[in-house]
Structure 1
Amino acid sequence: LQSLLNNDDARWKSTLQGQMVDYLVRGKRHLLIVLPTGGGKTLAMALPSLIEPEGITVVVVPFVALMEDLKIRLSNYGVLWGTYGDLELEKKRVILVSLEVAADENFVRFCGNVQGCGLLKRIILDEAHHFLMSPIFRPAFLKFRHLVSAAVPLALCTATMPPKYEQDLWTALKVSPRTTITLREDSTARPEISYRVTKVDPDDVEAKVVEYVNSVTLREEERGIIYCNTIAAAQHLAKAMGVEAYISNLTLAKKNEIMRKWVGGEQPWLIGTSAIGVGIDYPHVCYVVHAEPSYTLIDYAQETGRAGRDGKPSVAQMICSGPPLCSRENYTGYGGYDEMVEWVELLDACRRYHMGQFLDGIGRTCGSTPNGEFCTYCAGLLVRCLLFVSYSSLCSLQKIPPRYKMPVPISFTAPLHPGVKRTFEEVQEEDAFYDDGPTLEHSDCKCFDHFVVIY
């Protein structure tokens, strides 16, 4: 790692990143690798080709933008790469190929020939969740399972693969679970991202997005991204902001031009559709704004995952009129559409917890996530906490007996033990206030719903 980065102080981003490289080099079993967005999957994919004296790694990529990004990053790492169809492929260490080409019988035969020479080391599927969940990629993915016959380890890489989908993924590939290993972080949460939602009328979404963007001050290196659900919405918003939209039907040259303007700071806000959901690895994205929700919770996690890659606090702001509208005939049943609807409608629960429950099988609130930025709900709890403490301080100046002066808030994001949480009515019933103190109204103590009161 230090040799590749030419940095004696280089360290793995996580223990799992180092394990990923170790399994890719030494392992003989199929892998499912789930690392958070920005967790270093590309670097881990590049290292084996530099460690091994010979051999070829095939990387299957679902998006043109992602493939272009991989070409740049592999070149920066000093990896000899090529695309299927190039001349002198035998001199390359990594071969990049689209999913459609990888599912073709000619490519399957090519892999068989390379394997027959003992040179094919592994096949890696990047952004593997798309192959199971996208109606566009799923037909080609079902054909891709023919590559399993190449008798080399498969490595499926993603940042968003709910545990409940793992078995379906391997079943679609006709791979026995006994031949697989899953490397998964306990939590793929991005603690540096604050998840926020603002509800507005449908006709006001665009105006509120423009208003929000104008209220934000970006430093010289900082950038923002705005996601729209449709090409028409992206173009209309981009026109209102006086910039160009990054959409799927642009030429590659035009996309690269818009991207250069964005990275260079000439156009600090990048506006587009899910076409910019992957392949963006600029480290200083500190704002991701959604004009209406993503179609699924996995899409949303991927898109907001562009933010905070430098480890600094960042904001994922959604401005919407309601839950996403999804065409059911184009929905594979995976991806978390129903979970996205629930997430948008959440009023009385932590948004980070809801996302983690779906993506990792384990939910963690903002307060129980180390260095976690607060979501809309948890920030509201904090405000109520401060108001409650302020109210308690005010009460201490009144004629309230000492036992009632300063209720002590206990970690407002931690689960409260049912045996110690008491409502205001229960407090009144068990311990009547003294006659020489002022009477407290229920409205004054409504924050008791969120705190343990210690006497």
Structure 2
Amino acid sequence: MSVKDTKEVVMIDDDDDDEYQVTENDEIAAIDYELQQIESELQILQDRKKILTQRKEKLRDDALLKKSFSLSKKNWDNEDFDWSARLRKSLKDVFKIEKLRELQLPTMNAIMSKEDVILIMPTGGGKSLCYQLPAVISKGITIVVSPLVSLMEDQLHGLHKLHVKTTMLCGKADKESVKMTMNALVDKNSDLKLIYVTPEYMAKSNRFMNKLQKAYELGRLERFAIDEVHCCSQWGHDFRPDYKFLGVLKSMFPGIPILGLTATAPAKIIVDVQKMLDISGCLVLRASFNRPNLYYEVRRKPADKETCLAMMENLLKNRFGGKSGIIYTTTIKDAEQLTTDLRDRGIKVGCYHAMLEAEYRSEVYSKWMSGKYQAVIATIAFGLGIDKPDVRFVIHHCVSKSMENFYQESGRAGRDGKKSVSIVLYRLADVFKLSTMVFQDKVGLQNLYKVLTYCLDQTSCRRSLIATHFEETWNASDCVEMCDHCRKPGVGKEIDVAQYCRQLYQIMTKAVQNETRLTALKLVDAWYSKGASSLRVSNVPVPRFARETAEAIIGHLLVNGYLQEDFHFSAYSTISYLKRGPKSGLALNNDHKILFNYELH
């Protein structure tokens, strides 16, 4: 073969190679397309599987709820029981109360009848009286399990003023007090009525459980009251591992009734709690969630600190001038800083959190109760069991961790039934600050994203959103303009944000190529062609709408699974980055729509 022939062969080979390359690229593109289609179909099947699984669980749970409902058909709301006269007399003579509130009498009658009961009643509804009054007229001892020492101290203080013999057991209880309590449990002549105990103490103290068994054998044990009973459930917003220990009570003390109390809990959690405490199908009494005297409002929290402070100063001096309130923050540092900042603006406020000395906390509390302080700036632990009826406003300086938390915290306003206000200051950055605190909880992010959804909604009645969460039927017209949306209806418009989602994916792809992780702030900066130039994508147009709208779109994509948080530990903190979510396969399909009811501006 000549040199010329060889060259021709090589050239032919090259041509074949090019031809092969083109075919190969086409095939890869076809495979990619098919994989994308499969991804979309898988996502649809996954969503369907999720819906069917939830429906199956709901049907099972409904069977238990029906059992509870049949028990509730008995008329517990009457005064022809053996103890009715004593109950009425002690209500007036000891507690100085003339009239019982909704569900208090049925709860007390059922628990005195040795029935297990779960009572769901809003904060300030009078749950504690449901075990305190039966305890006073019973011969033996009522054990009250409570998660917060501050709550127990507050109730002890109140009962001692009424001359009801009460004591408390927790990690910080002194030896003499513990000894007296242990002896009283087995002393037939003791007039001790209630023992408050933390679940941690109960789970760890063999001595206490031993005395409890002896008290049971002597017929001295009347009932268990478990406060914040939703903490038993891993699906709850405040799961506490030591609450799991309470599952032994039914087998250890057969015949001793259990009263579970909570301000908020959906049916799924109530069923879970019943199973865990071995009281499945017990009587469940649920008061309405609605607080007709509370006005609900969500405001955009200014990113600029001084602007935010000016807004709060205006609220406290004008709209709430001379009125008492609570301002909730997320961290101790935030509470202290906000207290300093507002004092600098001439507002009389006190700071309250767990790390302060007990004496100082009491002083702040007293000044607030007496009106010397207009508001208490506190972390969310503050307020449980606090009975100040004239709280006219609750301001959330940062969003709550869950709808349950929000409902409880906002419900500390207006306990006297008079008109009061709940304001949430919402900002997306605060959501990511909280997510790093809750992401390790089983349902921490899920709960937080429900609050984010509540804040992002521009048109729905706030009460209807709360009702949907708590599985109550609600007619928006019943709100009577007691929320910002019903008072001034919004004009939201359903828009398709899928194109924006794909643009954000492009920015994320470039960041991955540069081996860079994106926080929400960096993602928005790159979208607006700001920040590091290496993260900007030239063919992604700068949005024509405001930055807060961009944040709302990111929030919407996050709660709907098109984006997801990616947590990384640094030496001093946990950082939340954003990445594509489980529904990214759907979003990449140009025909897919992501609808968002939001007014672009």
C-alpha separation in 1, matches of 2:128 and 2:279: 26
C-alpha separation in 2, matches of 1:166 and 1:249: 33
1:214 aligns with 2:317: yes
- What runs of 5+ residues in structure 1 fail to find an aligned partner? 384-455
Percent identical: 28
1:347 aligns with 2:489: no
Match of 2:214 in 1: 113
**Taking structure 1 as reference, are residues 11 and 340 closer, same or farther at Cα in structure 2, changes over 3 Å only?**
same
Larger helix proportion, structure 1 or 2? 2
1:40 aligns with 2:40: no
CA contact (8 A) 1:352 1:363 kept: no
**AA matched with 2:488:** G
Q: CA deviation at 1:177?
A: 1.3
Structure 2 matches for 1:359-398, cutoff 5 A?
359=470, 361-365=471-475, 367-368=477-478, 374-381=482-489
Structure 2 matches for 1:174-253, cutoff 5 A?
175-178=278-281, 180-185=282-287, 187-204=288-305, 205-219=308-322, 222-242=323-343, 243-253=349-359
C-alpha separation in 2, matches of 1:24 and 1:86: 29
* Structure 1, 94-103 or 281-290: larger mean CA deviation: 94-103
Q: CA deviation at 1:77?
A: 3.8
CA contact (8 A) 1:197 1:320 kept: yes
Q: Secondary structure at the match of 2:489?
A: helix
Q: 239, 256, 260: which is aligned to 2:366?
A: 260
Q: Secondary structure at the match of 2:488?
A: helix
Q: Deviations over 1:69-98 (max 9, x none)?
A: 111222244421112425152420111111
C-alpha separation in 1, matches of 2:366 and 2:401: 28
CA contact (8 A) 1:191 1:373 kept: no
**Taking structure 1 as reference, are residues 210 and 160 closer, same or farther at Cα in structure 2, changes over 3 Å only?**
same
Structure 2 matches for 1:297-308, cutoff 5 A?
297-308=403-414
C-alpha separation in 2, matches of 1:131 and 1:272: 26
CA contact (8 A) 1:58 1:97 kept: yes
**Taking structure 1 as reference, are residues 34 and 136 closer, same or farther at Cα in structure 2, changes over 3 Å only?**
closer
C-alpha separation in 2, matches of 1:293 and 1:281: 23
C-alpha separation in 2, matches of 1:299 and 1:277: 12
Q: Deviations over 1:246-275 (max 9, x none)?
A: 112112222111101110111121101112
Q: CA deviation at 1:203?
A: 2.5
**AA matched with 2:474:** R
Q: Secondary structure at the match of 2:295?
A: strand
Indicate the structure (1 or 2) with the bigger Cα radius of gyration. 2
**Taking structure 1 as reference, are residues 316 and 111 closer, same or farther at Cα in structure 2, changes over 3 Å only?**
same
CA contact (8 A) 2:224 2:258 kept: yes
Taking structure 2 as the reference length, what is the TM-score of the superposition?
0.58
Q: CA deviation at 1:144?
A: 2.6
1:166 aligns with 2:270: yes
Q: 82, 95, 98: which is aligned to 1:10?
A: 98
Q: CA deviation at 1:146?
A: 2.4
Match of 1:330 in 2: 440
**Taking structure 1 as reference, are residues 364 and 203 closer, same or farther at Cα in structure 2, changes over 3 Å only?**
same
**AA matched with 2:199:** L
1:82 aligns with 2:167: yes
**AA matched with 2:273:** L
**AA matched with 1:212:** L
C-alpha separation in 2, matches of 1:8 and 1:140: 36
C-alpha separation in 1, matches of 2:473 and 2:309: 32
C-alpha separation in 1, matches of 2:274 and 2:300: 39
Match of 1:400 in 2: none
**Taking structure 1 as reference, are residues 74 and 248 closer, same or farther at Cα in structure 2, changes over 3 Å only?**
same
1:93 aligns with 2:193: yes
Q: CA deviation at 1:8?
A: 8.9
Q: 145, 161, 182: which is aligned to 1:60?
A: 145
Q: Secondary structure at the match of 1:103?
A: helix
Asked which structure has the greater RCO (Cα within 8 Å, sep 6+), the reply is 1
**Taking structure 1 as reference, are residues 295 and 267 closer, same or farther at Cα in structure 2, changes over 3 Å only?**
same
Match of 1:274 in 2: 380
C-alpha separation in 2, matches of 1:217 and 1:333: 36
C-alpha separation in 2, matches of 1:382 and 1:247: 38
C-alpha separation in 1, matches of 2:431 and 2:318: 26
Taking structure 1 as the reference length, what is the TM-score of the superposition?
0.76
Q: Secondary structure at the match of 1:381?
A: coil
CA contact (8 A) 1:59 1:95 kept: yes
C-alpha separation in 1, matches of 2:474 and 2:89: 34
Match of 2:231 in 1: 130
Instruction: List structure 1 runs of 4+ shifted beyond 6 angstroms.
Output: none
Q: CA deviation at 1:125?
A: 0.9
Q: Deviations over 1:228-252 (max 9, x none)?
A: 1111111110001224311121122
Match of 1:441 in 2: none
**Taking structure 1 as reference, are residues 142 and 46 closer, same or farther at Cα in structure 2, changes over 3 Å only?**
same
Match of 1:415 in 2: none
**Taking structure 1 as reference, are residues 313 and 135 closer, same or farther at Cα in structure 2, changes over 3 Å only?**
closer
Q: Secondary structure at the match of 2:453?
A: helix
Match of 2:249 in 1: 147
Q: Secondary structure at the match of 1:275?
A: coil
Q: CA deviation at 1:9?
A: 7.8
Q: CA deviation at 1:373?
A: 5.8
Q: Secondary structure at the match of 1:208?
A: helix
C-alpha separation in 2, matches of 1:358 and 1:379: 22
Q: CA deviation at 1:195?
A: 0.5
